[in-house]
Chain A
């Protein structure tokens, strides 16, 4: 990822965290709110591959951790895994990168990431991470992702297009876009 890419990522992360904290956190449904941050990590994996996904996931996670009251590093650990895993998804089938498939992948990984976050939190000794609230959180994040995933994808494509003017998208070869 180029310097311009990182600069764009910084903008996306700052705007994203502001949107998360001041808007999305207020949309509480069933005791949970949509999560844009996990989607940024997932979209990074889709747009940039596993390595970039892990790196962006780590960055986004550290920033997200500043605004939650779970242990510092829990989000980054989760998002590293999410970004990497989604990046691997991208490299499996060639020529299948339809927008809707990507959105679907984001939605699924958003939900999986939320569940992973709860499991890791429980493993880290946090009480109340796994319970009947967890299912609600996963559901709400999934539904919210249907709306937020296209936005996150557009943002991360913009980030990764920073170093490759005219490169466009998709890159169906299955490799990392940040070579």
Chain B
């Protein structure tokens, strides 16, 4: 009795194992596998709505468990994400910087006020490194034709003058440098003349008028005359706009402040004018 039952158990086991193996084998055959795939898809489709509903209700619970168990890996993932965010930010700022460069270079190409003077494009290597000198380094030197005394312009206006030049680098003194002075004329029609001197980086320029009376927002241009002991510039380079006018009672001349047109705080590309005052 027990023996026959045991035999029947084994027969059942054998049959079921064989059935499973048969199904398993069939699944490896192309056409049958295709049919099984259909059945599987059907079964999953049937269960899907139910599954979705239950999942929607229970997901927070599952997330809680999973989150607690995966705390370490979540932390690692967080770290990774932070790293890639930083990288992306860096790339974005690089991209923005490149765009800025492109804009500056493109703007230099359109500098209209020096149409008849040859110009060398140069990149700013370093911002002012001293607190007392508004100078910066360029990546062009004498090998490119840059020489001491040549004017340097940005896309909007005068930047400064070359004060020293090596073979492949040059030092430029900004018009905001306290040692700088530029002879100017008021407006396009030269309604007055004066001298613009620097007061330090980030400061407005000081305008001492010799003649004429400035109006606010009037543009001042280089006069083309050579001031004693100062840099020389070709006439007609835009320098800045008059921002405020002071008249001292009893004084002979008027003074004003001038805002430089070139964006001296964030220079990246400038043009060196291959122009020297004829001695």
Contacts and interface: CB of A to CB of B under 8 A. Distances in A.
A67 B47 contact: yes
A22 B58 contact: yes
B19 interface: yes
A21 B62 contact: no
Interface string B50-64: 110011001100100
Contact of A29 (B16, B27, B66): B66
A17 interface: yes
Majority SS of interface residues in chain A?
Answer: helix
Interface in B182-234: none
A27 B66 CA distance: 6
Interface centre among A28, A55, A65, A87 (most CB of B within 10 A): A65
Contacts of A77: 17, 20-21, 24
A72 B50 contact: no
Contacts, number: 104
Nearest to A81: B17
Contacts of A51: 8-9, 12-13
A58 B62 contact: no
A50 B5 CA distance: 11
Interface residues of A, number: 35
Interface centre among A28, A30, A77 (most CB of B within 10 A): A77
B3 interface: no
A175 B5 CA distance: 9
Contact of A67 (B13, B19, B24, B44): B44
Given A29-B66, A29-B69, A66-B43, A176 B5 contact: yes
A88 to B, nearest CB: 9
Contacts of B58: 22-23, 26
Given A18-B50, A23-B58, A62-B23, A67 B43 contact: yes
B110 interface: no
Contact of A80 (B8, B16, B36, B43): B16
Contacts of B16: 54-55, 57-58, 76, 80
Interface in B38-89: 39-40, 43-44, 47, 50-51, 54-55, 58-59, 62, 65-66, 69-70
A130 to B, nearest CB: 17
Contacts of A81: 13, 17
Contact of A50 (B13, B20, B26): B13
B22 interface: yes
B28 interface: yes
A55 B44 CA distance: 23
B40 A66 contact: yes
B149 to A, nearest CB: 72
A87 B25 CA distance: 27
Nearest to A125: B28
Interface string A64-88: 0111000111101100110010010
Nearest to B12: A51
Contacts of A49: 9
B12 A66 contact: no
A16 interface: no
Contacts of B9: 49-51, 54, 84, 87, 176
B28 A80 contact: no
A22 B47 CA distance: 9
8 contacts: A26-B62, A28-B70, A29-B66, A29-B70, A54-B13, A58-B20, A66-B44, A74-B24
Give the top 3 A-B pairs by smallest Cβ distance, nearest first.
A73-B23, A73-B24, A77-B20
Given A21-B51, A87-B9, 5 more contacts: A22-B51, A23-B58, A77-B17, A176-B5, A176-B9
Interface of A: 17-18, 21-23, 26-30, 49-51, 54-55, 57-58, 61-62, 65-67, 71-74, 76-77, 80-81, 84, 87, 124, 175-176
